[in-house]
Structure 1
């Protein structure tokens, strides 16, 4: 992977992670780096799912792929926030 690819993945991950956090109600006790990490993973998995189902082959913006990514980011942020919140309650 090139430097441009890494920077692009971080930027897209931050955007997808932020959108995932916006979808969730309430406050999530996780930091920016965890949000970006969850966003990167959600973007990669969402793209794989969209390509596997054949909905990522459009000429314009792939809205269904973006929806997969945001939903996966929201689920990921909720899971990480729940795990992170329980870890500090001991």
Structure 2
């Protein structure tokens, strides 16, 4: 993985984490925690969605969209585990 693609994934993950924290009010972990969840969500979205047949595409907006979906799903799952 090149440095520029790693940097782009981190930036997209940070934006997705911030957005997922705004969407899932009350389930977040603060700004830094949500950014970390967003980065992990971006990675999960990049591996899971193509396996399911969804194309992430090459645009920045579509990457942020899919990463945000991945981060929201991850926040939801963490919230379920955290309650138990």
Question: Match of 1:21?
Answer: 21
Distance 1:59 1:3, change over 3 A: closer
Q: Residue by residue, what CA displacement relative to the aligned partner does 1:4-60 show, whole Å, maximum 9, x if unpaired?
A: 12221210111111111111123734342x222211111111122221122206687
For the aligned residue pairs, the C-alpha RMSD in angstroms reads 3.2
Higher Rg of the two aligned structures? 1
Q: CA deviation at 1:61?
A: 7.6
Question: Match of 2:69?
Answer: 71
Total equivalences in the alignment: 80
Which runs of no fewer than 5 residues in structure 1 stay unpaired? none
Q: Could you state the TM-score of these two structures normalised by the residue count of structure 2?
A: 0.64
Question: Match of 2:4?
Answer: 4
Kindly indicate which of the two structures has a greater share of residues assigned to helix: 2
Distance 1:44 1:22, change over 3 A: same
CA distance in 2, matches of 1:46, 1:5: 15
CA distance in 2, matches of 1:4, 1:61: 14
